[in-house]
Amino acid sequence: MATELHDLTAVDQAAAIRRGELSSTELVGHYLSRVAAHGATVGAFVTVTAELARTQAAAADAAPPAGRGPLHGVPTAIKDLTLTAGVRTTFGSAAFADYVPPVDADVVRALRAAGMISLGKTTTSELGSSLYSEGLVAPPARNPWHLAYTAGGSSGGAAAAVAAGLVPVAQGSDGGGSVRIPAALCGLVGYKPSRGVISGGPLGSGAFGLPTHGPIGRTVGDVAAMLDAMAGRVPGEPFLAPPLPEGGYLATARRAAPGRLRIGRFTAPMLADEPVDPACLAAVDGAAEALAAAGHEVVEVAAPLRPEVWPLFETIWYVLALAPVPPEREESLLPLTRLMRQRGAAISAGTLSATLAELQSLVRAGLRATDHCDLLLCPTLATPQAPVGWFAETGDPDDDFDRQRRFSPYCAIFNVTGQPSVSLPVATTPDGLPVGVLLTGRYGEDERVVAAAAELERVTGGWDRHPAIWTAPASANVNNA
């Protein structure tokens, strides 16, 4: 029996609610007390919607039992980059510090329809443009395992909230690793689904298919259950959704039976000629050994793409920074954001078109070269952790951007390809900080990725480890310390 409600997994919390052993109101109250105590310590939230959450929890408790989903009544949080009607959504930027959207993102509607209760908006990087969450509208998102280190980005607040026990699962989004990077840093499971599995609507152009919403949680089962809640076809989406697995992703995780797989292992960085930290290499070795012991064939492969692809990706990333910002608010943006937008504005349509065509040719070649593998295994990051403030410490936004590339030279490639990719917290550094690895499948084969992740979780004994803040008392004095 768990000693605290937040010790339960999200799936177990929902099961307790269904059995009448726990109410959503009680659960939401428990988590709100932890947010009040520890939210500012880890920089998890920009906006907390306590009263709205209590109202929704009461409605969830009053809902008829028939039709309740696997996460009905369970708390979550929405990234501050994601439109939420009637709730301040700043996109991580002082330029939008008071913006309140009139509409919900499709994924927010889906989570609400599944009966999940949002406690508020989690910290993100400005316009989602960097892999750390240190802006002007909220405290920096800190790693609950060591508060001197970043929780990552752009879904840094989401990961900090889950790792600190402030919500059991959280919604994030991933355009270049923004779910998987924070998950790796904070010792969590972060899942980027295949392009099209989760709607990106109702606004936006699709951003060349790079970004997608995705869940962050402590276990593969929790992440799979939240993926079930988020996934679904929505009319007008620009990308065809792959078929959902029979019984859903949670059922797939519970079976944990991917069949015998050929798994291609590589450690060469794909976006930078950067030495890889021994702890990251050891994590891949450990995962490969566990997968081989489970009966899979693990083979060495060349990385699908090499650092020569970086200038192409860089061009696209600059263009993606051109989110609409009122001209009078441009000066409110951070130096890195302004630099990226200036460079993006200088890229012609012809250059962008040629860049996309060349990148797609390289992607085709890389995927054909690795198509003999059912899954790919590689590090999530080239370095396990980074201190808060490290990326921007020189004050040079060029250096900031380059440090990000060298820190994370793996994740973004799988945004370009649209493949399903999950970061799993399989290891720790010698001083006990989390280290992640990526498992990536063929496009549309999310069922196989979820099943393999669940099997790896099972054969290794699981990764539901907690930092010291997990057991810290829920006292408001913590915020004032």
- Is 79 annotated as catalytic? yes
Q: Specify the pairing of strand 297-300 against strand 375-379.
A: unpaired
- Is 178 annotated as catalytic? yes
Annotated active-site residue in 125, 130, 133, 154: 154
- Is 192 annotated as catalytic? no
Annotated active-site residue in 125, 155, 178, 423: 178
Annotated active-site residue in 79, 199, 421, 423: 79
Active-site residues: which are they? 79, 154, 178
